[in-house]
Structure 1
Amino acid sequence: MSDTITITGNLAGDPELKHTAGGLAIASFRVGSGQRRFDRASKTWVDGDTNWYAVSAFRGLAEHAHASLRRGDRVVVSGRLRIRNWDNGTTRGTAVEIDADAVGHDLLWGTSVFTKAARPPAPAPEGDWEEAPDAGEESWAPADDSATTTEAPSGDATVRPLALVGAEPPF
């Protein structure tokens, strides 16, 4: 069972990016989430305690967090909560960690510009395929004419090519 949590807070420092021996990207950073409440007696806002979370992001999320986030940024983090006790022989404590599923800027406090990451090209399909279609053609078809043929409502024969697995969407 995993507990999901979403927090808002400020980055304590720039995200640190590391790669495992197998090439897995891991970004780690700390987020402080402060509590504020309105004190009716003094009619002022009072700062409460700050909760600190160690956040880990993996793979593409790690690369993007490292490139996008800086110390002091207000962020929203959603992920799986892990609480563990630790003991180093002289001191004991509790670590509160989040394995992030999503990280982003908190737009209540500022603006952000999103840049979609470029995807790697799709692998070439196996088999004997024709070259890419010209601008006027609608789609690719297998070179051996193994596409399906159906009757259009007007009585004309229409060729429907087989779908390419892993092909880029048209948008």
Structure 2
Amino acid sequence: MSIRTITGNLAADPEVVQAGTIQITKLRVIENTGEYRQGKYQPHDTPTTHFVEARFELGQNAAASLHRGDAVIVIGREHTTSWGDEGNKQYGRVIDADSIGADLTRATAAITRNARNDQQP
């Protein structure tokens, strides 16, 4: 799996789903992409949609903190996944998030630390 870093905006509020004994927070991140041609940046006509999954505390904190339209930075490992029946199997790329944060070039944030288990509130 390769490490990816993406920036973009959330297309929808985070969705928390139960997967066996754990919860997975799913995000859709829309990234405006482009390329330089003859020294000028040319945006692509269609933005790229990234599917992101976060587990454990990262997923819980993302679900509690992020909302549709928020500017984010995601770092994680990308892989291909499949779904559907054999006759109708579909494939897509998913980023398993290692880190998710607000993109402070386009937003401000108020940080609240999680309490550690060994500390009294």
TM-score normalized with structure 1 length:
0.59
Aligned counterpart, 1:31: 29
Deviation of 1:94 (Å): 3.6
Secondary structure of the 1:63 match is helix
| CA distance 1:25–1:35, change in 2 (3 Å) | same
Query: For 1:19-168, what aligned pairs fall within 5 Å after superposition?
Result: 19-22=18-21, 24-37=22-35, 46-48=42-44, 49-84=46-81, 88=85, 89-90=87-88, 93-120=90-117, 122=118
What secondary structure, in the 3-state scheme, does the structure 1 residue paired with 2:47 have?
Answer: strand
Pairwise CA RMSD of aligned residues? 2.4
Alpha carbons of 1:64 and 1:37: their partners in 2 closer, same or farther (altered >3 Å)? same
Identity %, equivalent residues: 35
Q: Structure 2-normalised TM-score? A: 0.81
Higher relative strand content? 2
Give the gaps of 5 or more residues in structure 1: 123-167
- Corresponding position: 1:4 with 2:3: yes
Are the structure 2 counterparts of residues 4 and 33 from structure 1 closer, same or farther at C-alpha, using a change threshold of 3 Å? Answer: same
Instruction: Call closer, same or farther: CA 1:84–1:16 in 2, change over 3 Å.
Output: closer
Greater helix share, structure number: 2
- Relative contact order (C-alpha < 8 Å, sep 6+): which is higher? 2
Shift >2 Å, 4+ stretches: 18-22, 36-40, 83-90
Larger radius of gyration: 1
